[in-house]
Chain A
Amino acid sequence: MIATSCDFTSRATSIQLNHIKLVRADEEFLSQLVEAIIPQSDSPGAKELNLHLFVMKMVDDCASPADQKLFLDGLKKAESVQGQSIEKLQAYLLSLSEKQDVFFKILKGRTIQGYRNSEYIMKNKLVYELVPGRYNGSVKIEA
């Protein structure tokens, strides 16, 4: 009993999903994939920012049933590189067509979206102002 509770292949995901079926092992794999797209450097990468959870949420709630199926199919196909080095994961993703592979298109698009709209980025890097309080229509850019 104790062993099965640690078994990632049957454990539930850390966020509740309503439309698609994923297990904790898929979540773990997705965290590797989003990290391959936006890796950690001197600033946090996609895994630390929980963007795999964001990708899961968006596929679950905002993708059409057809796209959900294609995403899950693509995730299944990618399992051959699960747990491998970031370089191997990146090589696999780059072997997919960004235009035609719906799995890759959704994975990358949602990762970038989640990154740009993350609290970390919006507070520290590309700062978002909720209350600008000003408009200047002619600002000279200092060279």
Chain B
Amino acid sequence: MMINLNIDSEKNRTYDAIVIGSGISGGWAAKELCEKGLKTLVLERGRDVQHVKDYPTTNLYPWEFEHRNELPFSVQHENPIVNRCYAFHEDSEHFFVKDKEHPYVQQKPFDWIRGYQVGGKSLLWARQTQRWSDFDFQGPARDGFAVDWPIRYDDIKQWYDHVERFAGIAGDKDGLAELPDGEFLPGYPLNIVEKYFKEKIEKQYPGRKVISARCAHLSKPNKIHFDQGRVQCQNRKLCQRGCPFGGYFSSNSSTLPWAEKTGNLTLRPHSVVHSILYDEKKGKAIGVRVIDKESKNEIDFYAKIIFLNAAAINSNLVLLNSISTRFPTGLGNDSGSLGKYVAFHNYSARISAEFGEYLDYTTDGKNPAGGGYIPRFRNLLKQETDFLRGYAAGFSAYRISHSDQSGIGSDLKNNILNPQLGNWGVGSHMMGETIPKETNFVELDPKLTDEWGIPLLRISVDYDENDVKMKKDYLDTMEEMFTSAGFTNIRRNESSQAPGLDIHEMGGVRMGKDPKTSMLNKWNQIHTCSNVFVTDGASMTSTGTQNPSLTYMAFTARAVDYAITEMKKGNL
């Protein structure tokens, strides 16, 4: 009797596929797997967040926030790490992990910004979506760092097409080899000063471009977007609250409800993944061990294939904690590379200025794309500086509005009620490629554990000399471009922000051609454990300069397609 019950119970906990994580890549894994008929369990360590229903602040006016969107002193004081994130405010704080909720050890300063809920950080992301090109995929081989990517642009192009059509990406066809065009909805226009800068720079500096930033907003939705229940972006720019229109892409508004409609999805929130279970006899993974977040009970789930999409650092943690006789240092870690070669994007410099022309023009409404984007030009065609790789940059212009706030009384009141238009303000920030190195790593703490009995992570990631040189080059180069455009009051701003605050951490479970030096093959499949796929930021061999989420989506859809083909052949 007991045995039968156990068999039944095990059957109830068995699926065709398990996806660990419901963020931007996990949502895609769920959608693709469910659409292809696989009974799929999605495990999410946080609470459920349903589209619209669970966006409590989304329609609030500024005066409806108790502290006008500022966070109380106690919240800021108790959360020095997440409080450094630009999007952490009264309207969005419920979507961020507080510092004490899941501690980690900083061997070097690292701001680990996390969103533990259904949808993960896809609710909070900056929604910038540029494709990689072969200038990025060939980077490590050309410049002699990390290992060669096992794929090239041609391998992933159709998958960019696939995810762009569904997610909805606004952008212009710019015809740039370094930033390939995609399946775009209409791009958002550059404003008059951004356009001026584009013309000026492209004429004066051949090879440098200023384009409209490409972003995951429905500028003009197609049927496939209406079918998801999403409508045109309404230019609110309150995206971090969750969007009632589904105007931007998130797992919550798009992939997860789509997966649910197939009838094949089981979503289990409050499921902290402990490890992936490896069967020594079968020589492959058989399931996932979960600690229920509330009850702290241990539960095992079983499946034929497993997609690991816990977000870069946490995917490292899951593999490092998946110990077996065959893999004593972490699942699939024959190469010893697991947890190593972690990299990020260098966002530590910005520059601002003013422009005193076009003062008879202004803007109206809000631009979800945020303005312009300058693709990488430095060291693009050949090595030309004393540092490797380069940077992309944002560029935006806005009309400054100000009022004299000196004094008190009726003059002050009158001044506040009659703001004056000033110069244009212009600004840019760098997005620099960093070089993955063995010395930038994450590992398990040998003693400390979290409240679910899982070892704490120790993070040891830092900038290096290459980053310092690149930052100086960005500031010098941008200052020169600003000067030649006639901008005034130029202010260079170097921040001392720690790695992690860019929220573009990548690597640790890198792809590569050689199992001796990498974790994953060209299908994001663990070399030595063929039914486990890692398709989030952990899989990245190098970082490029593009915001990475779009590439995670494309890798995920591609890997699911491959996994299903292999399953049909009986190979998994």
A residues with a Cβ closer than 8 A to B are 36-39, 41, 43, 45, 57-58, 61-65, 90, 93-94, 108, 112-119, 121-122, 125-126, 128, 130-141, 143
Contacts and interface: CB of A to CB of B under 8 A. Distances in A.
26 contacts: A37-B409, A38-B408, A39-B413, A61-B66, A61-B72, A90-B408, A93-B408, A113-B68, A122-B62, A131-B234, A132-B234, A132-B236, A133-B235, A135-B365, A135-B367, A136-B364, A136-B365, A137-B190, A137-B195, A137-B363, A138-B192, A138-B195, A138-B361, A140-B360, A140-B361, A141-B360
Interface stretch (B416-424, B439-447, B478-486): B416-424
A54 to B, nearest CB: 8
Contact of B412 (A37, A58, A132, A141): A37
Contacts, number: 119
Contacts of B361: 138-141
Contacts of B417: 43, 121, 125-126
Given A57-B66, A62-B70, A38 B413 contact: yes
By secondary structure, the B interface counts as loop
By secondary structure, the A interface counts as mixed
Contacts of B407: 94
Contacts of B416: 38, 112, 115-116
B194 interface: yes
Given A36-B408, A39-B410, A133-B365, A114 B68 contact: yes
Nearest to A120: B63
A61 to B, nearest CB: 4
Interface string B63-83: 100111011111001000000
A69 to B, nearest CB: 13
* Residues of B in contact with A, size category: 35 or more
B71 to A, nearest CB: 8
A132 B62 contact: no
Contact of A134 (B59, B67, B365): B365
Contact of A63 (B73, B363, B365, B421): B73
Contact of A36 (B63, B74, B365, B409): B409
Given A62-B73, A138-B191, A128 B61 contact: yes
Identify the interface centre among B74, B368, B409, B416: most chain A CB within 10 Å of its CB. Answer: B409
B171 to A, nearest CB: 15
A62 B363 contact: no
Contact of A136 (B72, B363, B368, B408): B363
Identify the interface centre among A64, A130, A135: most chain B CB within 10 Å of its CB. Answer: A135
Contacts of A115: 413, 416
